[in-house]
């Protein structure tokens, strides 16, 4: 009886060992690289935010969007800053930087050129009576001969005499005027030298 | 002086051997078996290998016992590693409670339940090791050879839950069901 049980068990064990197969294709494809999708990136120093994106490539040839999973950084924050994947010109008014994404042992870098603002003009609507006026805009000229490009960032609008300023995302500004003299001033990159081509510009609006 | 030392050694040896033959309830054991694991996926993902273990137990052969088990499984699958490389051998540790029954027949049937964990090396760009947890139940029988030696035959089912695999965009976690049959010996002190 004993020998029979031992033999039966051994036979069952051996037959069990013989069956079944080992999977030899990975259940999950492995990451082979990560990359910033945009190349030859250039922006203007006063543009609104540009959004970059990143993908991961896998051993099975597929790709996945990993924009929100990687760490973004800029090597020269005076030229441009990157917060998550949002790219904006820095406080230095132009320059070059390297944007890097990093995840674990993977990384990728792309150069970014930021065009410098060389001069600008301000468009003012006609202001005759008290009330709110749209259409205040600043237009910039850049070092690549781009002209009259709407200025969306690094510009400060200020006004006295109790005027209320609303700056919109696209760079357009509306101002609510009261009666009297109102001085509207624009400042770019905190430049205080009025003789500079990007220095402060002011205009007085008189409403009786 | 030398005679005293020899006498002490002799006394110690006699005490030691007699203690082994007393009802200390301690036992050690080892076994080998066949192991087959199927993953909870739409694709047919499976692993077949052998399993070896070494254990230390405490308890009565005819009643309750607790076992601390180290297991080892050679591995020739590529379930988690990148193409071209195999997953590493598996090393695990389990704790199981045993309940044996004495029906006054030759064999002593038993059931076991326990849990454990383990790990294996994998070859992925962001992961070099994968751990897993498991719950296990088993049934089988002890076949006593004499007062200190018995053969153990058993079947074990394991539910295995693996550590997540990081693919950057998502974290993928897999579970598997494993069946094994094994044969081993236990030495009871």
Confidence of residue B44 (pLDDT cuts 50, 70, 90): confident
CA distance B143 to chain A (A): 8
Chain B positions in Cβ-Cβ contact with residue A5 (cut-off 8 Å): 107, 143, 153
Matching residue, tokens 């993908």: A55
> Does pLDDT of A5 surpass 60?
no
Percent of chain B with pLDDT over 70: 90
- Write the residue in A30, A64, A106 that is nearest to B82 by C-beta: A30
Q: Tell me if A12 and B43 make a contact (CB, 8 A cut-off).
A: no
Q: Tell me if B124 and A30 make a contact (CB, 8 A cut-off).
A: yes
Per the CB < 8 A criterion, the answer to whether A43 and A50 are in contact is: yes
Q: Give domain A117-207's CATH number out of 3.30.70, 2.60.40, 3.30.450, 1.10.357.
A: 2.60.40
Choice among A8-22, A144-158, B51-65, B91-105 with the minimum mean pLDDT: A8-22
Q: Tell me if B169 and A66 make a contact (CB, 8 A cut-off).
A: yes
Helices (H) and strands (E) in chain A, counts: 1, 18
CA distance A79 to chain B (A): 29
Confidence of residue B110 (pLDDT cuts 50, 70, 90): very high
- Write the residue in A6, A26, A105 that is nearest to B79 by C-beta: A26
Q: Does A19 touch chain B (CB under 8 A)?
A: yes
User: What is the per-residue pLDDT for B6?
Assistant: 74
**What torsion do the CA atoms of A119, A123, A128, A133 make, to the nearest 10 degrees?**
-120
Q: Does B178 touch chain A (CB under 8 A)?
A: no
Percent of chain A with pLDDT over 70: 90
User: What is the per-residue pLDDT for A18?
Assistant: 45
Confidence of residue B189 (pLDDT cuts 50, 70, 90): confident
User: What is the per-residue pLDDT for B138?
Assistant: 97
Alpha carbon distances (Å) from B8 to A111, B4, B13, B14, B126: 82, 6, 9, 10, 59
- Give the phi and the psi of residue A77 in degrees, each rounded to 5: -75, -15
Spatial distance between the Cα atoms of A139 and A152, rounded to a whole number of angstroms:
9
The residues in B 77-116 lying below 8 A from A, measured between CB atoms, are: 77-83, 106-107
> Does pLDDT of B23 surpass 90?
no
Q: Please state the rounded mean pLDDT for residues A102-131.
A: 95
User: What is the per-residue pLDDT for B82?
Assistant: 83
ipTM for the complex? 0.71
Q: Please state the rounded mean pLDDT for residues B22-41.
A: 88
User: What is the per-residue pLDDT for A146?
Assistant: 94
CA distance B11 to chain A (A): 40
Comparing alpha-carbon positions, the chain A residue that sits nearest to B34 is A17
Q: Does A22 touch chain B (CB under 8 A)?
A: yes
CA distance A182 to chain B (A): 54
Cβ contacts of B112 within 8 Å, gap of 6 or more: B67, B96, B97, B98, B99, B136, B137, B138, B139, B140, B154, B156
What letters, b where the CB count within 10 A reaches 16 and e where it falls short, cover B94-110? bebebebeeeeeebbeb
CA distance A11 to chain B (A): 11
What domains are there in chain B, each with its CATH number? 23-188 (2.40.160.20)
pLDDT tens digits for range B133-186 = 999 999 999 999 988 999 999 999 999 999 999 999 999 999 999 999 999 999
The model's pTM is: 0.76
User: What is the per-residue pLDDT for A201?
Assistant: 95
> Does pLDDT of A82 surpass 70?
yes
> Does pLDDT of B57 surpass 60?
yes
CA angle B90, B121, B169 (to 5 degrees): 125
Spell out the domain ranges in chain A: 31-115, 117-207
- CATH 1.10.645.10 holds for A31-115: no
Q: Does B182 touch chain A (CB under 8 A)?
A: yes
Please check whether the two domains, A31-115 and A117-207, share a CATH topology. yes
Q: Please state the rounded mean pLDDT for residues B50-70.
A: 94
> Does pLDDT of B42 surpass 60?
yes
Chain B positions in Cβ-Cβ contact with residue A9 (cut-off 8 Å): 153, 181, 183
Q: Does B41 touch chain A (CB under 8 A)?
A: yes
């Amino acid at each position: 009886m004993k020998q029979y049980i031992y033999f039966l068990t051994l036979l069952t064990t051996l037959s069990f060992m013989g069956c079944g197969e080992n999977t030899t294709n990975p259940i999950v494809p492995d990451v082979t690289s990560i990359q910033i999708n945009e190349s030859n990136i250039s922006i203007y120093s006063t543009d609104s935010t540009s959004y970059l994106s990143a993908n991961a490539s896998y051993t099975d040839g597929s790709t996945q969007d990993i924009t929100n999973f990687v760490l973004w950084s800029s090597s020269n924050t005076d030229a441009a800053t990157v917060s998550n994947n949002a790219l904006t010109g820095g406080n230095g008014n132009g320059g070059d930087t390297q944007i890097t994404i990093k995840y674990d042992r993977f990384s990728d870098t792309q150069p970014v050129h930021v065009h410098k603002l060389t001069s600008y003009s301000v468009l003012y609507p006609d202001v005759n009576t008290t009330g709110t006026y749209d259409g205040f805009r600043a237009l910039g000229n850049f070092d690549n001969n781009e002209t009259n490009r709407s200025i969306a960032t690094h510009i400060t609008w200020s006004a006295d005499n109790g005027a209320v300023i609303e700056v919109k995302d696209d760079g357009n500004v509306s101002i609510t005027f009261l009666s009297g003299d109102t001085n509207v001033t624009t400042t770019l990159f905190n430049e205080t030298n009025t003789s500079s081509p990007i220095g402060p510009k002011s205009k007085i609006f008189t409403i009786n | 002086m030398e005679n005293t030392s020899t006498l002490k050694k002799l006394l110690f040896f006699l005490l030691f051997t007699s203690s082994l033959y007393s009802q200390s309830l301690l036992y050690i054991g080892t076994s080998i078996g066949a192991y087959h694991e199927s993953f909870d996926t739409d694709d047919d993902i499976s692993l077949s290998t052998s399993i070896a273990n070494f254990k230390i137990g405490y308890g009565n052969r005819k009643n309750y016992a607790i076992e601390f088990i180290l297991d080892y499984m050679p591995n020739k699958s590529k379930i988690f590693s990148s193409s071209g490389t195999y997953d590493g051998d598996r090393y695990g540790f389990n704790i199981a409670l045993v309940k044996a029954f004495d029906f006054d027949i030759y064999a002593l049937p038993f059931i076991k339940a326990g849990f454990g964990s383990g790990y294996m090396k994998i070859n992925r760009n962001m992961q070099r090791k994968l751990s897993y947890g498991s719950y296990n139940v088993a049934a089988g029988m002890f076949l006593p050879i004499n007062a200190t030696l018995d053969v153990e035959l058993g079947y074990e089912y394991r539910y295995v839950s693996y550590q997540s695999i990081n693919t950057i965009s998502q974290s993928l976690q897999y579970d598997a069901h494993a069946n094994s049959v094994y044969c081993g010996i236990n030495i009871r002190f």
